[in-house]
A and B are shown apart, each in its own frame.
Chain A
């Protein structure tokens, strides 16, 4: 939705773009402020073990948010990630019970996740279905399959070597966070410094024009969904080993947390805008706020409220500026709101 440059020649730069950039700055400021406040004012916040708890707690959301960022920048959405995580957990538990070696099970889980993503991808790109509708369907389907596969069992006798790895820390930094950091660096490089990344931004902002420029829109979208599924499966491995428990209901409800983090990180739900550092900061911000508020014995209900407020504010803030500045009638393209 290209907005008319309102300021004429005097303000040549796109105000919306600047605001987005400023919003990421704001997240950073907020993150630093909250962290400082918590370090000073909340007992038990600023020490190595709490920091590692905090980081560990954000691992799965961070992992899924990485690919979710790419998917949302491409103007799609994947609501099935948490169910994919659950399905992958179930597969892990099932195969483990069947006596397979864990080293073999892990790649199978990743494949399962990728397959889940591929199904979403095919439905979205080949049939042209809206991803919101598709992934609401697979959200139920994958979770249901998890129950079918593992039923009511909780598989807990997982190898200590691996469960230990999941909670292993180097100083305050958990091993899982190192994994997140490596993948985040990879994803950020892909999104912000490669041709593929440029193409993702392009097709998210204007699919038709990207198609005209030779961007393989469908192929890229398909692989983004596959990556999203694989990343959810990776998150499932961390989740399973971290809690030493493979169950069909692992990670219920995480999808909304992931989407919330991505949107809070300044990614436009209409695609074409957003940065990975912004999303990572948002994941951290939500983690820190949560951790600090719980430590400060603030009731659970306030947490939900704060999350919602942060989310709405993140989109409202730049919009309020735009509304104030709006001189023309809303051009119809501005009113276009795709759910």
Chain B
């Protein structure tokens, strides 16, 4: 590699592999973080970035390969070990203690001490206030963490990491919830740290941030190292190509359909503090994408439409009939299906077998008299397992042993087996390998062609652009744009999503 600094890297991974059961999250990945250098980590969802971060933070232990600290092999038995080695981490998901104050959250585990081993509260408070001042945010250090917005939670996480005065600062999508203002401040602080000799690892899906902050980028694809480059030598397109591996168009075969009747109508739906005045329609045979930045409130809209959450105002109509609010069973009876974004928490019951998970959303269909017919249950699961090319040993195995992509297929099977007339899919391809992704897209296209109304929430712009007949864009809890397929481009969607587009 060109112009390698003469000193060994502060922290490095050498041919590290990590598997979760059948899911190979990382495979022989190497990475070097140098003092005073900001390093980006890029890759699609599920590429293994967070896993890599968690290995560096001591939360996961690698199955193979080594962690090198100042060139010497090191072993992290837990987050405490990594912290002692000077590694500070901002995790992708905020991990705060809701019952404790913001200050305590920042200093938990290493509170400043006064006499008799007491915690020096005033000192902690002063330091927290100083940190927030540096980040240019107004947060009361004495406020409890419960009730903070995601953005504020993220800021607390950032303050927590910065407070460590670490030698290595690892940030897994720290900016996902932040606005430009805070990002600029954050970059200012990180830049200062870097200049003082701190090594920085930065994960983000916002390419412009990578180009602004970093000097070097490592790209992962499906857990494997793709390339390590100097940012200066690249264009954003190069980076996308490295992440995806092929041209996007090839991935999303979209079948043309003629939209029919309005199948789903959402009118002035509001959930206070989350989204406001959302109205849209989806016609039979149409694939409508709901785009927006993370946290824009898209999943919340889907949840409210399906009745998982109770909306504060507005109504949902399916096939012209008003839906009883806050009742998933009513929504299901009306022909609605929701493939939720979080399959582990919301989509599946990990301890239950594949067949029972699939049957759970359609219990009446597998009943013979008052009893469940195991044969019918198995037949239903088997049909869909074959159609979705599910890889499994036995249908009676718990679903938790399947690989991530196959788990996602089970969630899809669970809902498709109901033959819904309106299908809402939230991040349908998150964590799915590239091959399966194409399969899911093909399936969604076929369903739409067969007359199903599809509402697709996705954070992946290429997926949105490739699949959708229409793109609805949300920004800060409001629907800000409705872009037909012909006009939908990366620029137009992103402009709307960041609030700069035409309303």
Residues of B within 8 A of A208 (CB): 345-346
Q: Which of B56-100 touch A at CB < 8 Å? A: 59-61, 77-78
List the A side residues contacting B400 at CB < 8 Å.
2-3, 5, 14
Interface residue A140 (Cβ < 8 Å from any Cβ of B): no
Task: List the B side residues contacting A197 at CB < 8 Å.
Answer: 372
Interface digits, B1-37 against A, CB 8 Å rule (1 contact, 0 not)?
Answer: 0000000000000000001111000000000000000
B401 pairs with A212, CB closer than 8 A:
no
CB neighbours (8 Å) of B19 from chain A are 8
Residues of A near B401 (CB, < 8 A) are 5, 12-14
With contacts A14-B398, A216-B329 known, is A272 near B22, CB below 8 A? no
**In the bound complex, CA of A4 to CA of B503 (Å):** 46
Are A2 and B351 interface neighbours, CB within 8 A? yes
Structural contact, B372 and A194, CB atoms closer than 8 A = yes
CB-based contact A8/B21 at 8 Å: yes
Residues in B401-436 with C-beta less than 8 Å from chain A: 401, 414
- For B345, the chain A residues whose CB sits under 8 A away are 206, 208-209
The residue from A8, A12, A17, A195 contacting B351, defined by CB atoms under 8 A apart: A17
Kindly state the separation between the CA atoms of A216 and B331 in the bound complex, as whole angstroms: 12
Task: Tell me the bound Cα distance from A198 to B359 in angstroms.
Answer: 9
Of all chain B residues, the one with the shortest Cβ separation from A216 is B329
- A248 CB, min distance to chain B CBs, angstroms: 39
Q: What is the size, in residues, of chain B's interface with A at 8 Å between Cβ atoms?
A: 43
Judging by beta carbons under 8 Å apart, are B340 and A272 in contact? no
Chain A residues with a Cβ closer than 8 Å to the other chain, count: 36
Chain A residues within 8 Å of B21, by CB: 4-5, 8
Q: Are A12 and B397 in contact, with the CB atoms below 8 A? A: yes
Measured CB to CB, the closest approach of chain A to B154, in angstroms, equals 19
Residue of A nearest to B360 (CB): A213
Selected contact of A272 from candidates B308, B328, B351, B364, CB within 8 Å: B351
- Residues of chain B with a CB closer than 8 A to A215's CB: 329, 360
A273 within 8 A of B: yes
Q: In the docked arrangement, what's the CA distance between A12 and B344, Å?
A: 18
Q: Is there contact, CB below 8 Å, between B349 and A211?
A: no
Contact of B22 among A9, A202, A216 (CB under 8 A): A9
30 contacts between A and B (CB under 8 A): A2-B344, A4-B21, A8-B22, A12-B393, A12-B397, A14-B398, A14-B401, A17-B351, A195-B363, A195-B364, A195-B372, A197-B372, A198-B356, A198-B359, A198-B360, A201-B352, A202-B360, A205-B351, A206-B349, A206-B350, A208-B345, A208-B346, A209-B346, A212-B340, A213-B360, A214-B332, A215-B360, A216-B329, A328-B60, A329-B78
By Cβ-Cβ distance, the 6 closest A-B pairs, closest first, are A2-B350, A195-B363, A5-B21, A14-B398, A2-B400, A214-B329
Which residues of B are interface residues toward A (Cβ below 8 A)?
Answer: 19-22, 59-61, 77-78, 306, 308, 328-329, 331-332, 338, 340, 344-352, 356, 359-361, 363-364, 366-367, 370-372, 393, 397-398, 400-401, 414
List the interface of chain A (C-beta within 8 A of B).
2-5, 8-9, 12-14, 16-17, 189, 193-195, 197-199, 201-202, 205-206, 208-216, 272-273, 327-329
